[in-house]
Chain A
Amino acid sequence: MLPADQIRTVMHDQFQAGFLEVTEFRGMTTIHVKGKIVLETLRMLKSDPRFACNFLADLTAVDHLEKGGHARFSVVYHLLNQHDGLRIVLQAWVDEELPVLDSANELWRTADWQEREVYDLFGIRFTGHPDLRRILNPDDFKYHPLRKDYPLEGRGERSDFPVVARTVGSKWSDRGRTFE
């Protein structure tokens, strides 16, 4: 794997405007790019022999509503080179107004369900995804609950169900039950 400053040069030469920065934290290198070039970057990280990341270890997202960053959401790709055991992180930043990214499904089939999860919980859509439906929440769920502006206790979904009464006469439910 290249050191961080060389990755910076490679990324800058190849993507210019779409490339944002390279950061390092405790030996983990993270490449930050704008959302519109995410698929090209992933393709490069997979096919370029200097990276040769053949495995998508994780795909998730972060809402930077209060934390701040290049945009509101960052979709995080954890890539692994299984030949050398090297890891690299790619963060693709997308705005709140148009949270749309290209799907990584054509590069790694494992992105299918991972992207459905990000869509379900963050509302970030992936173009080119074969079947972008909610994966965890009910199909008729209206919100994207991992967004930071969604209240932890929800917006009343958990108390919105029909009440089933006892089906035998009223005497059954009215009588008090006492135990000593």
Chain B
Amino acid sequence: MGMSDSGKAEWLTTRVDNLANWARKNSLWPMPFGTACCGIELMSVLASRHDLARFGAEAIRFSPRQSDLLLVAGRISIKMMPVLTRIYEQMPEPKWIISMGACASTGGVFNTYSVIQGIDQFLPVDVYLPGCPPRPEAIIDGLIKIQQIISEDSLSHYKVDESSEAVAP
């Protein structure tokens, strides 16, 4: 491929970018991490009425190793946070995170010792969905935002930082 060591986008790279982004954004494989009522709303998005398959993201995988979109739906407790981190680390690159609902994004009404006040303190979230829980239309909108992020993507962004740690097994 035309990916040079300098990390600069060349003619061939940009063409491959377009192809790769087109393929990726229309074939997202979500990993649902539903811990609360947002998970129920997520199910309805996947069902026939709202039909997430229209956006190519109907293949739900319950293994992080087969997915590229982490959908965190619900409040994350201090006991669940290490599990969530582990799941994120197991996902292969490239990967994206949607923080769905007030609880995952900010802790919501659960301002207590045991609830994480926003998963973005510890994980790189791409899209936040407001709502308690967000309506299916909002989830679809979030997915379209992820597709927008992917379409802006370039292979030259994937120059692995030498100093960073290897991905955990």
Contact = CB atoms under 8 A, between A and B. Distances in A.
Interface residues of B, number: 34
B113 A161 contact: no
Given A164-B85, A164-B123, A169-B161, A158 B93 contact: no
B47 interface: no
A49 interface: no
A16 interface: no
Contact of A157 (B111, B113, B124, B156): B113
Nearest to B148: A179
A17 to B, nearest CB: 39
Given A155-B113, A168-B159, A177-B149, 15 more contacts: A137-B79, A138-B78, A141-B78, A145-B113, A152-B111, A158-B113, A161-B122, A163-B122, A168-B94, A168-B158, A169-B7, A171-B7, A172-B158, A173-B124, A177-B152
B132 interface: no
15 contacts: A137-B78, A145-B113, A145-B114, A154-B114, A155-B113, A158-B78, A161-B81, A161-B122, A164-B89, A165-B164, A167-B161, A168-B93, A168-B161, A171-B159, A177-B152
Contact of A152 (B88, B113, B148, B164): B113
A5 interface: no
A150 B89 CA distance: 33
A157 B149 contact: no
A141 B79 CA distance: 10
A3 to B, nearest CB: 43
Nearest to A174: B157
Contact of B164 (A154, A167, A175): A167
A26 interface: no
A137 B114 contact: yes
Contacts of B111: 152-153
Given A154-B112, A163-B121, A164-B122, A169 B88 contact: no
Contacts of B93: 167-168
A179 B121 CA distance: 22
Nearest to B89: A164
Interface string B151-165: 010001111110011
A151 B124 CA distance: 29
Interface in A109-138: 137-138
Contacts of A153: 111-113
